[in-house]
Amino acid sequence: MGRQWGLAMRAAEQVGCVVSASRAKQPEAGSWSCSGVILSRNPGLVLCHGGIFLPFLRAGSEALAAAEAVFLPGDSCGDDLRLHVQWAPTAADSNGRADEGRPGLCTPQC
Amino acid sequence: AGLEPSPPARLRGRPLQCPRPAELLLLLSCPAFRAHFERLFGDAEGEQWRFASVAPDDEGSEDDEEDQLRALGWFALLRVQPGPGAAAERGPAVAVAVASPGAVPKGAPLLACGSPFGAFCPDIFLNTLSRGVLSNAAGPLLLTDARCLPGSEGGGVFAARPAGTLVALVAAPLCWKAREWVGLTLLCAAAPLIRAARAALGRLRPSEAALAAFLPPELGTPRALPFRSPEPSWAAAAVLVECGAVWGSGVAVAPRLVLTCRHVAPREASRVLVRCDAPKTVAVWGRVLFATQETSPYDVAVVSLEEALDGIAMPVPTERFSEGEAVSVVAYGVFGQACGPSVTSGILSAVVQVDDTPVMLQTTCAVHGGSSGGPLFSPRSGRLLGIVASNTRDNTTGATYPHLNFSIPITLLQPALQRYGETGDLGGFRELDHAAEPVRVVWRLQRPLEPPRSKL
């Protein structure tokens, strides 16, 4: 089981990410964030929780209450929604050139 | 302010990718998840269920709380805008495989990976790992005892076998029932969300519909999975015991005999209904053969059934305990009949002995109201270690601690069970009413009595 855990941990860490949402015109209004999973790298597809989109729904939370609702298109949220996704680099990324020469650029301010 | 860290002595030292802009493609919901949620938690106000807030302000209004409940079963599919090196990105496009619904059995080990507090200090909190088991399942609504924190909503929960298969996403990391923290995390199975995404993308513009091809595949089907291990046979011995308005858990120790707690079935000769869920759901009437007296430290009752519980492998009692060994509690706590027994995992944190005889077991498994009488097993050996008697409450603050709980060692009960099985004599159980004072002191959570000191 120990080896299995090791493999599972590596797999989990390679697809884990954090998603943040904010308003383009009102960044001071704060941001909402949650965790997510990278489903595909190229194209980049991420699945995350829907709760952070509540403040951005054009029709308010009522849109989520409809029993028959299975999905809502992206334009259910206002145009001022700004999303960012951050993740740890994969081994391939670390060896690649994407971050070369930019150390510390991503250090977030706590 | 409480989350402001001191300067860390040592950072995890991982360079992070720059936050990459993304667009919202879809908001997705799993109707089956919502239906099961409604069934299990629907009377949320009556049962006083509360879930971890996804809003920044924990002291939100009732409207906020209602909004959060609505959003609890919704997830989002995003497309990340390609970075400057996108064309050179290597490796497979699909990043993860998804477990089919029902592929992971109850009790199977799981690994949760999320970012506590969301985007707060990702260099420290990104991809924090937590281990647990699949505690319960109702369709795509899953529960795990892997401990998660606010901000880990949307985080992935992965199987250990095959390693890294995505099982579910965190829907609510924390929940409380009647102001008691229930040490379980609410999950939504990943497979139905991926299916919903695939179907929904097909109804969008062609450029977006094409993205469906990049959604991860489901790994096999439940019947043909290479990794599916059968649910542990020992878990099937857990039963639900209803005695009038009171209910709790129990364990079948013989086809017609169930052990439970006195506070679940307190009156001898009273009728009780015993339900079990595996291998099939059955309900059998029985009567209380024996219940310890109120003065006994051992909270034990024995129920004789009118019909045999067929098809259940009777548990083998252990003969010894090892502090630190992995243990599991199987019990109907929290949900009762609504959702089959839950499995929670932990270790045997203490074996309290009096005169070299184990008289109390402590575990780190999450134990909730309704778990009393449920069996404590060693998942490694499958042996029965004891029955759960209580968790812990601080009467000063009113706080309940589900991860500190007390069980009665089966080694104390086994001689009486054997005697009853061979002769029908309940005398062995009656001896539980005459426990020595040091044992009573232990179960009252008092300090051992010191020998009287001479005043000379």
Average pLDDT of each block of 10 consecutive residues along chain B (456 residues)?
44 72 95 90 70 53 79 95 66 80 90 92 90 94 95 96 92 86 93 95 90 88 47 87 94 97 92 90 95 96 95 93 97 87 96 97 95 96 96 87 95 97 96 95 80 69
If residue B376 lies in a helix (H) or strand (E), which one and from where to where?
strand B375-377
CB atoms within 10 A of CB B435: 19
pLDDT score recorded for residue B451: 67
Which whole-number Å values give the CA distances from B192 to B33, B167, B322, B406, in the listed order?
9, 10, 41, 38
pLDDT score recorded for residue B101: 84
Backbone angles phi and psi of B337, in degrees to 5: -70, -20
Q: Up-side HSE of residue A16: CA atoms within 13 Å toward CB? A: 35
CB-CB neighbors (< 8 A) of B171 in chain A? 49
Tell if the CB–CB gap between A31 and B82 is shorter than 8 Å. Answer: no
CB-CB neighbors (< 8 A) of B379 in chain A? none
Per the CB < 8 A criterion, the answer to whether B355 and B337 are in contact is: no
List the strands of the sheet with B180-182, edge to edge: B49-51, B175-177, B180-182
Among B191, B179, B141, B185, residue whose Cα is nearest residue B38: B141
The ipTM (two decimal places) reads 0.86
Tell if the CB–CB gap between B17 and A81 is shorter than 8 Å. Answer: no
Q: Which residues of B are catalytic?
A: 263, 299, 372
Q: How far apart are CA B288 and CA B269, in angstroms?
A: 5
User: CA of B89, closest CA in chain A: separation in Å?
Assistant: 7
Q: Which residues pair with B112 in a beta bridge?
A: B130, B157
CB atoms within 10 A of CB A13: 19
Per-residue pLDDT of chain A (110 residues; tens, 9 = 90+): 677 788 899 999 999 999 999 998 877 778 899 999 999 998 999 999 999 999 999 999 888 887 678 899 999 999 999 999 999 876 555 554 433 333 333 333 33
pLDDT score recorded for residue B397: 85
Q: Measured between CB atoms, does B96 come within 8 Å of chain A? A: yes
Provide the residue type at A93 as one letter: D
Among B285, B286, B283, residue whose Cα is nearest residue B303: B286
pLDDT score recorded for residue B162: 84
- Positive or negative CA dihedral for B229, B234, B235, B236? positive
